[in-house]
Amino acid sequence: MYSPRDSEADFDRWEDDGGRAGLQALTARFRQSSNLRASWQLANTMLPYAALWYLMYRLWPLAWWLMPPLAVLAAAFLVRLFIIFHDCGHGSFFSSRRANEVVGFIAGALTFVPARQWWAQHARHHAGAGNLDRRGSGEIRTLTVSEYLESPRWRRLSYRLTRNPLVLFLIAPLFLFVVLYRFPARGATPRQRRSVLWANLAILGVACSLASVMGITTYLAVQGLVLLVSATAGVWLFYVQHQFDGAYWERTGNWDAVRGALQGSSYYKLPRVLQWFSGNIGFHHIHHLNPGIPNYRLQRCHESTALFRQMKPLTLFSSLGCLRLRLWDEQSKRLVGYPAAEPSQGRQTVNSLP
């Protein structure tokens, strides 16, 4: 049974022993990028992804019923490509800044994401993960119990709708990647705005090229399914990495960056094949502790010290329980379900049920 509270106790004991002082030095050993490993990872992701698209194109008139399973497999490679894009944004995938920028732009276009704008939003997420006063762009909207209870009825209903699993994991991901990322975010810099423009042009160019070969109907069907599955998987991964029982949230005055990383990010232990397709992002506690570690070194860093190895993992099965978590209760310091009754009914108790 997943018990992050035990991990918190492990962290307290380790901190009392003076472990915090050597933490950055310990993780810094794994920051070194390997151009050889990065190139191999890029090849074993991009080549199968391209081959699957070609196979779907050739099989369409002969065995159209094979398209959905092939598209799902292609979506798995697209998730892996997104992790490469993500690492490029942290400057950790290649040792060369220019290589990270070029590969990041290409990977972003293939995953329908404008590179510089997304990287800027993601940097803000890292800077304040677990900080209740810095919730914002690039994160799944999360209200505290008091914020929810003090909201007007229409806002509570809106929040319930956006946190509904069908909306959160099916409708919202496709809307996010297909529609929302096509426009500059509020407050975007000129450079980020240009990033959106160039990404849109690249996406349009790829779409027109594939549609001219496959036919517009076939292209839209395949690309739509690939994006739906990959976007849903991506949002789910992000959700369980920060929305789990025992997660860490604090106000600015009490917020601690190290605790925000190790206790506010889950260790999502996936089956080997899913760990491979998700680019080791399940070691999210390590990633938040030191974002400069490339994905291909996260597991070795996790295994390098007892503190990391003792962390209780969130498994594929136990992660399903995260679906019931809706609000942050500042009194009990844990994620909970909705209130048992709305304020108008004279009760403000909170339970852990959906």
Residues 248-252: contacts with CB under 8 Å, at least 24 apart: 248/130, 249/130, 249/131, 249/132, 249/328, 249/333, 250/130, 250/131, 250/132, 251/131, 251/132, 251/133, 252/131, 252/132, 252/133, 252/134
Count Cβ atoms within 10 A of the Cβ of residue 26 and give its class: 0-12 exposed, 13-18 middle, 19 or more buried: middle
Query: What pTM value is reported for the model?
Result: 0.90
**Predicted confidence (pLDDT) at residue 26 exceeds the cutoff of 90:** no
Helix (H, G, I), strand (E, B) or coil at 335: strand
Query: In this structure, what are the phi and psi dihedrals at residue 328, rounded to the nearest 5 degrees?
Result: -100, 120
**Predicted confidence (pLDDT) at residue 325 exceeds the cutoff of 90:** yes
**Predicted confidence (pLDDT) at residue 258 exceeds the cutoff of 90:** no
266, 240 in Cβ contact below 8 A? yes
Tokens of 203: 């996406």
**Predicted confidence (pLDDT) at residue 345 exceeds the cutoff of 50:** no
pLDDT single digits (tens) 329-342: 999 999 999 987 66
Give the integer Cα–Cα distance in Å for 85 and 142.
26
pLDDT single digits (tens) 128-170: 889 999 987 778 999 999 999 999 999 999 999 999 999 999 9
Residue 92 CA, distance from chain mean position: 17
